[in-house]
Amino acid sequence: MIDKTANLRDESAETRHLLNHTAESDPREFDSQSEFHDLEKQDDAQAGGSRFLIWTGVNIASTVAIVFLNKSIFSNPSFGNCQVTFAAYHFLITAGTLWAASRSWCGLFMPKEASLPQMLPLSAAMCIQVVLQNLGLAHSSVMFHQLSRLLLTPVVAGLNYILYGSKIPRSAFLPLALLCTGVGVVSYYDSLPKDDGKATTSFWGVLFAFAGVGSSSIYVVWIGHYHRKLDMSSMQLLLNQAPVSAGLLLFAIPWMESPPSVYSVPGSMWFSILLSGILASIVNLSGFFIIDTAGAVSSTVVAQLKSCIIVGLGWASSGHVVMGESTLGIFMALLGMSSYMHIVLKDHM
């Protein structure tokens, strides 16, 4: 035993001597290896940054496109009362996309199962908030619809404070108040009749929009609770949610909606519906990539940019003169949201 231990010590010493001798005899070899690894890290970082920019661009483009595309679909008389059916269709497309993404031949994420009783409450909340969003979009202008979605930020902040004691910086209160005031101004003046006697946003549009904000806020807070409770990623959770939500809505459709007169629908409208489903899947997948790569805060900044683009395009494509008061409200809301994001980002750094 003593001889073996001595031999091991001698071999270890000899090995260290050889390594030291090699390092001393040719230090350039190790320098070149170190430089090679540094270059590899730089290439990986650049590739990751490029992928993030690409997916961010894809997410912004698909989100903007789907809002205007869905608005055009709901403006068609045949689909003006099909918001529940449309939500079920999107859930089915999303479930199919995530199922494919979780397979071994795709490998974007590992699936994780949850029981039906566990998923029913969250899936029902998901159904309610999506249907209310669709109803709000169908009965209001794109500009008001998107501005009203900005109210998610203060409502979620309030719910997190009430339920979990989460606080925001004191300096963020004024921007949130400015945001809420701006949305209130736009909701009032956008619902007034214009020169042609028609309002771009109806009373029901305002009601559905605010109800959608409330339900979406509860859903967002609940999502965080489910993430911690089930220890699931966003993709894993949505893969369990989407089929259950689709099933709930398919059961509710016969009681809530009458079937559309499909025979009078042009082929271009069917193409728009197919494209809407594809865009919904792209929005979800790209959104998950942004969150996983850059975090929730960066995802919120991207969402803010999308809101500005959609509001601007909605303004440009409205086809009527926007009242001065509505213009003031738009700038108040966007300024409040931008100031809030600046304060939150500064607080996180």
pLDDT digits (tens, 9 = 90+) for 186-216: 878 777 766 555 556 788 888 988 898 888 8
With bands split at pLDDT 50, 70 and 90, how would you rate the model's confidence at 348? low
Q: Among all chains, which residue has been given the structure tokens 């007034």?
A: 192
pLDDT at 333 over 60: yes
Residue 4 neighbours by CB under 8 Å, 6+ apart: none
Question: Crossing angle of helices 234-256/116-138, nearest 10°?
Answer: 60
Q: What is d(CA 16, CA 28) in angstroms, rounded to the nearest whole number?
A: 19
For the stretch 3-19, pLDDT in tens is 544 443 444 444 444 44
CB burial readout 70-81, b (16+ within 10 A) else e: bbebbebebbeb
**Tokens describing residue 125:** 């909340």
Q: What is d(CA 167, CA 158) in angstroms, rounded to the nearest whole number?
A: 9
**This prediction's pTM:** 0.70
With bands split at pLDDT 50, 70 and 90, how would you rate the model's confidence at 275? very high
Per-domain residue ranges of the chain: 1-49, 58-348
Q: What is d(CA 205, CA 148) in angstroms, rounded to the nearest whole number?
A: 11
For the stretch 249-261, pLDDT in tens is 888 888 877 777 7
Burial of 223 (0-12, 13-18, 19+ CB in 10 A): middle
Give the DSSP per-residue string, 170-191. GGGHHHHHHHHHHHHHHHHHHT
Q: What is d(CA 326, CA 324) in angstroms, rounded to the nearest whole number?
A: 5
Mean pLDDT of 65-90: 84
Residue 287 neighbours by CB under 8 Å, 6+ apart: 59, 299
